[in-house]
């Protein structure tokens, strides 16, 4: 079997992995991270004389919080639910509006020349830069937090959707027109399936951007709840172990969204439609 452009002997050349090898590849990075974390904690203690939360201490504190121990006077489940609720609401709105704007601008040349330059211009703006604008317009609290997450996710989704549809192979469009397909059918049955990989890439970026923006917004937007709020308030309560618990939950949730949500979408769409990288057989 030809492995494409990978050179013979390259670690990527053989993509057939056994279960034990795959399991080892997943465990080893985690062990390296835990070892580095433990080593950093010992180094900080030796050099600065400051207690730095270790992996074991963080795990034990996570167990206590899950068992009902309060975090800033509330349950860890309340903070977790508040963060997830804001994130899912803002990302859903960003996905719907971003894909809608991306499709319209790609399909309508006049709208494309008007809006796409603005989308490209605003996409690199960091999510933190939107915080003072959101607070100024909407005040502190839930609405400003959701709007910050929305803006962080919206632009990459819109730009990638626009680019994906405009980069569809023109031969597909011509062939469909020769078969009598009209504009609506061209969009739904040709352009969107062909652009799906790039649209999913935009959704991935938007999801990650929104999650990072959520944590930053909760730290400064006066939400009173959420994982970001709990991390920020730990500087006053000196409960750094709980802050590390929240950081760990943030990482695990981000990883879970990436591995399960998007893997499921890819399995149900891209692979089922045959939009995959195929290997040539000798």
Report yes or no on 10 lying in a domain. Answer: no
- Nearest to 199, CA basis, from 105, 99, 124, 111: 99
Report yes or no on 221 lying in a domain. Answer: yes
Same domain, 51 and 82: no
Q: What is the pLDDT of residue 72?
A: 80
- Nearest to 99, CA basis, from 150, 187, 149, 159: 159
Higher pLDDT, residue 205 or 265: 205
Same domain, 186 and 243: yes
Q: What is the pLDDT of residue 280?
A: 38
Report yes or no on 29 lying in a domain. Answer: yes
- CATH number for position 195: 1.10.3720.10
Same domain, 43 and 150: no
Higher pLDDT, residue 176 or 277: 176
Of 148-152, 183-187, 225-229, the range with the highest mean pLDDT is 148-152
Report yes or no on 214 lying in a domain. Answer: yes
Same domain, 255 and 228: yes
> DSSP string spanning 63-102?
HHHHTT--BTTB-HHHHHHHHHHHHHHHHHHHHHHHHHHH
Of 27-31, 98-102, 204-208, 265-269, the range with the highest mean pLDDT is 98-102
Same domain, 112 and 80: yes
Alpha carbons 152 and 172: distance in angstroms, whole number: 33
CB 173 within 8 A of CB 191: yes
* 3-state secondary structure at position 272: coil
Alpha carbons 205 and 86: distance in angstroms, whole number: 17
Q: What is the pLDDT of residue 216?
A: 83
Report yes or no on 3 lying in a domain. Answer: no
Backbone angles phi, psi at 166, to 5 degrees: -70, -25
pLDDT of 89 > 90? The answer is yes
pLDDT of 136 > 50? The answer is yes
Condensed to tens digits (0 to 9), the pLDDT of residues 170-217 reads 777 777 777 666 667 777 777 778 788 888 888 888 888 888 888 888
Q: What is the CB neighbour count within 10 angstroms for residue 150?
A: 25
Share of the chain above pLDDT 90, in %: 10
What's the whole-number average pLDDT of the chain? 79
Same domain, 136 and 21: no
* 3-state secondary structure at position 134: helix
Cα–Cα–Cα angle for 280, 203, 104, nearest 5°?
100
pLDDT of 282 > 80? The answer is no
Residue numbers of the domain that contains 142: 74-268
Report yes or no on 204 lying in a domain. Answer: yes
The set of residues, in sequence order, having a beta carbon less than 8 Å from that of 38 and lying 6+ positions away, is 54, 55
Least confident span in 114-118, 166-170, 266-270: 266-270
Q: What is the pLDDT of residue 53?
A: 87
Q: What is the pLDDT of residue 46?
A: 85
Number of domains in the chain: 2
Same domain, 163 and 262: yes
Same domain, 86 and 140: yes
Same domain, 221 and 148: yes
pLDDT of 236 > 70? The answer is yes
Same domain, 96 and 228: yes
Share of the chain above pLDDT 70, in %: 82
Q: How sure is the predictor about 57, in pLDDT bands with cuts at 50, 70 and 90?
A: confident
Same domain, 164 and 240: yes
Same domain, 146 and 41: no
Match 């649209």 to its residue by tokens. Answer: 199
Report yes or no on 69 lying in a domain. Answer: no
pLDDT of 278 > 50? The answer is no
Q: How sure is the predictor about 3, in pLDDT bands with cuts at 50, 70 and 90?
A: very low
Q: How distant, in Å, are the alpha carbons of 26, 47, 54 from that of 40?
A: 22, 10, 9
> How much is the pTM?
0.77
Higher pLDDT, residue 168 or 268: 168
Report yes or no on 281 lying in a domain. Answer: no
Q: What is the pLDDT of residue 90?
A: 92
């Amino acid at each position: 079997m030809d492995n494409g452009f990978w050179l013979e002997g390259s670690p990527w050349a053989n993509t057939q992995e056994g279960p034990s090898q795959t399991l080892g590849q997943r465990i080893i990075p985690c062990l390296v991270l835990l070892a580095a974390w433990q080593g950093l904690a010992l180094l900080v203690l030796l050099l600065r004389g400051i207690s730095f939360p270790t992996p074991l201490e963080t795990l034990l504190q996570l167990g206590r919080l899950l068992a009902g121990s309060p975090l800033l006077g509330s349950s860890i489940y309340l903070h977790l639910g508040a963060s997830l609720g804001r994130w899912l609401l803002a990302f859903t709105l960003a996905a719907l509006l971003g894909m809608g704007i991306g499709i319209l601008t790609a399909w309508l040349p006049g709208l494309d020349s008007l809006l796409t330059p603005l989308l490209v211009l605003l996409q690199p703006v960091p999510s933190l830069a939107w915080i003072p604008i959101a607070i100024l317009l909407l005040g502190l609290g839930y609405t400003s937090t959701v709007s910050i997450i929305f803006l962080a996710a919206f632009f990459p989704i819109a730009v990638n959707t626009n680019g994906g549809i405009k980069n569809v192979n023109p031969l597909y469009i011509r062939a469909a027109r020769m078969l009598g397909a009209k504009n609506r059918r061209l969009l739904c049955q040709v352009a969107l399936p062909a652009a799906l990989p790039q649209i999913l890439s935009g959704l991935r970026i938007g999801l990650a951007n929104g999650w990072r923006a959520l944590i930053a917004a909760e730290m400064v937007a006066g939400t009173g709840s959420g994982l970001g709020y709990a991390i920020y308030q730990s500087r006053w309560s000196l409960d750094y172990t709980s802050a590390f618990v929240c950081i760990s939950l943030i990482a695990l949730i981000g990883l879970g969204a990436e591995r399960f949500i998007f893997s499921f979408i890819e399995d149900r769409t891209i692979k089922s439609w045959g939009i995959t990288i195929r290997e040539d057989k000798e």
